Copies of this chain bind each other. A is one copy, B any other.
């Protein structure tokens, strides 16, 4: 699988790069970011974190706004930042920002209008996963996943679907129970159809109850001034974890909102969480 280098920036002792490739799973060109710490540039095998971004974001959002590179270089983490959906003029879209391009929800759509391109689960878990192992010094035994908001849903749901691929997981303000919040209901209805039983296979709270404990700990940070709090249902995540004995470090933070000023404040803790889990 070939990839085309679009941008390359020295950043600390490593490099922040962006690539484009012809993605088979989603039948369109896709871009992704990769931060390579000094250790990876020297060819040493590195623990690797996928970061899944939220609604309206792109492969560049985390690299610009989350301030993770300093510690990632220090700790020797490769950071992979996919885009949030398939994109392009011939890719189905919606006039609203919470559906279609920029809002792929990291699942495989089954409905006719969406199923051709919106196969984001296959894209992340199979195609991009294999591609970064092929092209970079990724240690395939030390891969974790994290995400924010819609991407927090993506990180949690993919981790519990594929614990053999993602050995650690964390999230910022994740959509923990998409089946019962307005963003999730809208997206799932369009991508998966009207039968709500089909939705549960992509709902983290439901998946955890069904699949059981898989991680020695999960880290989730949640701001208490989050303007989208009613979409997120952290209590459902807590209940699901309690039900199956899955350890969850769920931290609530006074005054913090939903944005990247919140994420930058706690990103170092997430890198340390993954380092511990991936030891």
Contacts and interface: CB of A to CB of B under 8 A. Distances in A.
A110 B191 CA distance: 60
Contact of A70 (B67, B255, B260): B67
Contacts of A260: 64
B9 A262 contact: yes
A69 B64 CA distance: 14
A9 B69 contact: no
Nearest to A66: B67
Contacts of A16: 261
**Assembly of this chain: how many copies?**
2
A12 B265 contact: yes
Contact of A9 (B9, B10, B257): B257
A11 interface: yes
Contacts of A265: 10-12, 69-70
A264 interface: yes
Contacts of A69: 261, 264-265
Interface string A254-274: 111101111011001000000
A223 interface: yes
A139 interface: no
Interface string A225-239: 100000000000000
Interface in A33-70: 64-65, 67, 69-70
Contact of A261 (B10, B253, B257, B262): B10
Contacts of A64: 64-65, 260
Contact of A10 (B65, B262, B268): B262
Nearest to A267: B70
Contacts of A268: 70
B70 A253 contact: no
A262 B9 CA distance: 8
A12 to B, nearest CB: 5
Contacts of A255: 10
A223 to B, nearest CB: 7
Nearest to A258: B9
Nearest to A263: B11
Interface in A206-254: 223, 225, 253-254
B262 A225 contact: no
Interface in A2-45: 9-12, 16
The 9 closest A-B pairs by CB, nearest first: A9-B261, A11-B261, A67-B67, A10-B255, A10-B256, A12-B265, A16-B261, A64-B65, A11-B265
9 contacts: A9-B261, A9-B262, A10-B223, A10-B265, A11-B264, A64-B65, A65-B65, A67-B264, A69-B264
